[in-house]
């Protein structure tokens, strides 16, 4: 069992850290939110006083933070992970950030003799809870092999995709597919509802065919039930698509559908919906069509 540090106990990080505890690892945690720290400490973790303190007590330090600037501040900044990390230890950033940020942090770690992986995840809160996340990893094979037993306690699918930064390129590709899938699903369910059909019946009719997907299975029931409690927030998906578009621009790649959905997410944020689950993309389409996706009144009676 390894000594693992975990910095960042949000919607995803908290259950991920708890799964490491359940597996028998010694875990020290830190987050700016005292309540989140207290919750994980109650499950058996030790509280660290800073990111530096967490790293000083850990063989492997995991960060799970909102965006690249947060990761750079927590790893590279004052009282940060690199100030506490010993030579030969490892840092695994599981945040979804720009590949450029990942490479910057990786280079700083390498300069201090600290191994680094960028290992963003997909699957949302439910898979973070049950430990079945898809984990996309960038870095050296030897570091991957070293950390794999830890990652296996949080993920069901773990793939080394290339050098440092490749994990986040893969995650951006994932986020493009998820966002465009939700947008297409939203348009389809709005059309069906406007035509007088029961959207739940339509969902059940198509989910076994070529249109079926994990995204459809997870998000259509949320839209139909009007449940937009965040498993993955709109503001974070907007951030991911922004990073995808910036990366695409640097490589002169046109991503027209990604750009459209990113603008939809931005509009929803401006409408006060940034904290909602990304399934609330449907509300944008609903507003334009003047219809709400839900079971017909007779079906609800």
Q: Which of 117, 148, 164 is the last residue of a domain?
A: 164
Looking at residue 29, which CATH number applies to its domain? 3.40.50.720
- Cα→Cα distances 175→149, 162, 168, 181, 240, Å: 26, 18, 10, 10, 7
Mean pLDDT of the chain: 96
Same domain, 139 and 269: no
Q: Which of 136, 164, 192 is the last residue of a domain?
A: 164
Same domain, 121 and 264: no
HSE-up (13 A, CA, CB side) for residue 292:
9
How many domains does the chain fold into? 2
Same domain, 149 and 132: yes
Same domain, 177 and 249: yes
189-206 confidence digits (pLDDT tens): 999 999 999 999 999 999
Report the catalytic residues. 171
Of the pLDDT bands very low, low, confident and very high (cuts 50, 70, 90), residue 296 is: confident
Looking at residue 261, which CATH number applies to its domain? 1.10.1040.10
47-83 confidence digits (pLDDT tens): 999 999 999 999 999 999 999 999 999 999 999 999 9
Of the pLDDT bands very low, low, confident and very high (cuts 50, 70, 90), residue 1 is: confident
37: which residues sit within 8 A by CB, 6+ positions away?
A: 9, 29, 30, 31, 47
Q: What is the pLDDT of residue 71?
A: 98
Using only C-alpha atoms, what is the Rg of the chain? 20
12-51 confidence digits (pLDDT tens): 999 999 999 999 999 999 999 999 999 999 999 999 999 9
Task: Give the domain extent around 90.
Answer: 3-164
Identify the CA nearest to 258 among candidates 175, 190, 194. 175
- In this structure, are residues 109 and 79 in contact, taking their beta carbons and an 8 Å threshold? no
For the entire predicted model, the pTM comes to 0.90
Of the pLDDT bands very low, low, confident and very high (cuts 50, 70, 90), residue 231 is: confident
101-147 confidence digits (pLDDT tens): 999 999 999 999 999 999 999 988 999 999 999 999 999 999 999 99
């Amino acid at each position: 069992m390894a000594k693992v540090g975990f910095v960042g106990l949000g919607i995803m990080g908290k259950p991920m850290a708890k799964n490491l505890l359940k597996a028998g690892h010694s875990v020290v945690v830190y987050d700016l939110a005292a309540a989140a720290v207290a919750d994980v400490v109650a499950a058996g973790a030790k509280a660290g006083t800073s990111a530096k303190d967490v790293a000083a007590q850990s063989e492997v330090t995991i960060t799970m933070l909102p965006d690249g600037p947060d990761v750079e501040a927590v790893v590279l900044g004052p009282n940060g992970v690199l100030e506490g990390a010993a030579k030969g230890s490892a840092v695994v950033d599981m945040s979804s950030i720009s590949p450029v940020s990942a490479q910057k942090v990786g280079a700083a770690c390498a300069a201090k003799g600290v191994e680094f992986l960028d290992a963003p995840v997909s699957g949302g809160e439910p898979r973070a809870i049950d430990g079945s996340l898809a984990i996309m990893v960038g870095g050296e094979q030897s570091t991957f092999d070293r950390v794999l037993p830890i990652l296996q306690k949080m993920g069901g699918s773990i793939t080394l995709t290339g050098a440092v930064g490749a994990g986040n390129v893969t995650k951006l590709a994932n986020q493009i597919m998820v966002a465009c899938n939700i947008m297409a699903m939203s348009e389809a369910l709005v059309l069906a509802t406007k035509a007088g059909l029961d959207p739940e019946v339509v969902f059940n009719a198509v989910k076994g065919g070529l249109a079926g997907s994990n995204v459809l299975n997870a998000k259509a029931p949320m839209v139909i039930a009007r449940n937009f409690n965040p498993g993955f927030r709109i503001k974070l998906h907007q951030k991911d698509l922004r990073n995808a578009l910036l990366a695409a621009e640097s490589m002169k790649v046109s991503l027209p559908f990604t750009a459209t959905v990113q603008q939809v997410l931005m509009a929803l944020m401006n409408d006060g919906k940034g904290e909602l689950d990304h399934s609330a993309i449907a509300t944008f389409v609903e507003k334009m069509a003047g219809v709400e996706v839900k079971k017909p009144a007779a079906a609800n009676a």
